[in-house]
Amino acid sequence: MRISELSARSGVSVATIKYYLRERVLPEGERISPTQATYGEAHLRRLGVIRALVDAGVGIAGVRNVVAVLENPPAHPSALLGAASAAVSPPDGDTAELDLAPALALLARLGGDADDCYPGQIAAVARALATLERAGFTIPEPVLAAYVEHLGSIAEAELAATPTGSAEDAVRYVVLGTTLVEPLLLALRRVAEQIAASRRFGHD
Amino acid sequence: MRISELSARSGVSVATIKYYLRERVLPEGERISPTQATYGEAHLRRLGVIRALVDAGVGIAGVRNVVAVLENPPAHPSALLGAASAAVSPPDGDTAELDLAPALALLARLGGDADDCYPGQIAAVARALATLERAGFTIPEPVLAAYVEHLGSIAEAELAATPTGSAEDAVRYVVLGTTLVEPLLLALRRVAEQIAASRRFGHD
């Protein structure tokens, strides 16, 4: 298909498609004349992944990381998922001042260790715990146990549903499932708390 | 105690305490001379709640809402928890364009209905679902079922651990537990996903 049809089918403007071509996150089309190229279904799928990443707030550098994984898919599925996940992970940042021990203890309770995760992911847990500590807020132990158990179950369910059709589909699922689903989870938790309170204490 | 001691014990500067007095979120002390007042343990507890709210990103208007609840505690505990939760909830915003039906369907699956929740909480669920829809991302049904089940369990565990000593303690727990815990939950989910992937596919 011509670039105009690729634009119409993907909903991405011609100018933006040309930007992705220049940034080399979308491969060149097949040249059919000195001024024209033709594009295939693979370009359409790739555009879908790029738009999903961009809509999820991933910058062009993160997009390039994911694309690099798609073009040289690692032998292990966990590396594929890991690279997609790393592209939307918080940067490692400065961890020199950060006490990682409480975060690593939570990792162990989830059945994993530091080797399973990216440093940025562990640092994010450590930072969240440090914020609670500074505010003088201690999560009661049964609540922390509930977080570990139920977030573990959620992760298992999410992973079990990863599409296996193509690397593009898997990456799209991981990237969007990680980032776009977060506001839903937080909103659902607040609603669930309110429902639990109504059930326990009745309506006001 | 004098305002200087209140400042030392609370870690809040005298200037900021005076600001809270002017904003009427901290009650006046007992006047012992035309220029001096004395403060008690209740002031210290109240300052703890105010700081927790401010640290959680709640503005002075939200602080005033919570304080109003503390000063006239409703008969029902659910109203107390609800008001604390409302103070840290997203504003209702413009819901005219929003399709609430999918959000209400999720509420029903959580065992509740619109009467249990604030409009802003339901709107937040609806907005999160609309974002996923726009991105063309469908949460697989078993995954959605896992969200409903496990977030419901998390909410039950959190509610069961609500301190009952004083209204201040309960409000502090709800406000901080709702807001400050959110980054931890998101970070733990990402780590849990990575651990689940390692377990399922092995290390790369």
Predicted local distance difference test score (pLDDT) of residue B18: 95
Share the mean pLDDT of chain B. Answer: 86
Give yes or no for A201 touching B (CB within 8 A).
Answer: yes
Instruction: Average pLDDT across each block of 10 residues of chain A; the chain has 204 residues. List them in order.
Output: 95 95 94 92 88 81 83 72 73 78 95 86 91 84 96 94 81 81 92 86 62
Window 105-134 of A: residues touching B by CB (8 A cutoff) are 106-107, 110-112, 115-118, 121-122, 124-125, 127-129, 131-132, 134
Kindly report whether the global pTM for this prediction surpasses the value 0.90.
no
Range B153-171 burial, b when 16+ CB lie within 10 A, else e: bbbbbbbebbeeeebbebb
> Residue A97 falls within a domain, yes or no?
yes
Dihedrals φ, ψ of B68, to 5°? -60, -40
Predicted local distance difference test score (pLDDT) of residue B75: 67
- How far apart (Å, rounded) are the C-alpha atoms in residues B195 and B197? 5
**Contacting residues of B for A189, CB less than 8 Å apart:** 151, 154-155, 182, 185
- How far apart (Å, rounded) are the C-alpha atoms in residues B157 and B169? 17
Dihedral sign, CA of A15, A16, A17, A22? positive
Match 């005219």 to its residue by tokens.
B96
> Residue A94 falls within a domain, yes or no?
yes
> Residue B64 falls within a domain, yes or no?
no
**Contacting residues of A for B146, CB less than 8 Å apart:** 153-154, 157-158
DSSP output for B78-117 = HHHHHHHHHHTSPP----TT---HHHHHHHHHTT--GGGS
Take residue A204 and report the two structure tokens written for it.
């006001």
Predicted local distance difference test score (pLDDT) of residue A32: 92
Give yes or no for B93 touching A (CB within 8 A).
Answer: no
**Which amino acid would we find at residue B13?**
S
> Residue A194 falls within a domain, yes or no?
no
Contact state of B195 with A153 under an 8 Å Cβ cutoff: no
Neighbour-count burial of A94, counting CB atoms closer than 10 A to its CB (0-12 exposed, 13-18 middle, 19+ buried): exposed
Q: B101 falls in which pLDDT band (50, 70, 90)?
A: very high
**Contacting residues of A for B193, CB less than 8 Å apart:** 81, 85, 155, 158-159, 178
Predicted local distance difference test score (pLDDT) of residue A144: 96
Q: B203 falls in which pLDDT band (50, 70, 90)?
A: low
Range B99-128 burial, b when 16+ CB lie within 10 A, else e: ebeebbebbeebebeeebbbebbbbbbbbb
Contact predicate A89/B190, CB 8 Å: yes
What's the mean pLDDT in B75-80?
A: 69
Question: How many domains in chain B?
Answer: 1
Q: How far is B36 from chain A (nearest CA, A)?
A: 30
What's the mean pLDDT in B162-183?
A: 82
Strand A30-33 and strand B36-38: the pairing is: unpaired
| CB-closest option in A111, A112, A125 to B187 | A125
- Which one has a higher pLDDT value, A60 or B172? A60
**Contacting residues of A for B112, CB less than 8 Å apart:** 191, 194-195, 198-199
Range A83-92 burial, b when 16+ CB lie within 10 A, else e: bbbbbbbeee
pLDDT tens-digit readout, B102-131: 999 999 999 998 888 888 889 999 999 988
Partner residues linked to A30 by β-bridges: A38
Structural domain boundaries enclosing B149: 89-160
Predicted local distance difference test score (pLDDT) of residue A143: 96
Disruptive mutation site among A109, A184, A199 for chain B (greatest number of B CBs within 10 Å)? A184
ipTM above 0.90, yes or no: no
Strand B30-33 and strand B36-38: the pairing is: antiparallel
Closest residue in B to A124 (Cα–Cα):
B187
> Residue A122 falls within a domain, yes or no?
yes
Indicate whether B74 pLDDT > 80: no
> Residue B204 falls within a domain, yes or no?
no
3-class secondary structure, A95: coil
> Residue B115 falls within a domain, yes or no?
yes
**Helix, strand, coil content of chain A in percent (nearest 5):** 65, 5, 30
3-class secondary structure, A59: coil
* Closest to A42 in 3D by CA, of A157, A169, A164: A169
> Residue A163 falls within a domain, yes or no?
no
Q: How many CB pairs under 8 A join A and B?
A: 299
Predicted local distance difference test score (pLDDT) of residue A200: 76
HSE-CB at A167 with a 13 A cutoff on CA atoms is: 20
- How far apart (Å, rounded) are the C-alpha atoms in residues A12 and A31? 21
The total of other beta-carbon atoms located within 10 Å of residue A49's CB is 23
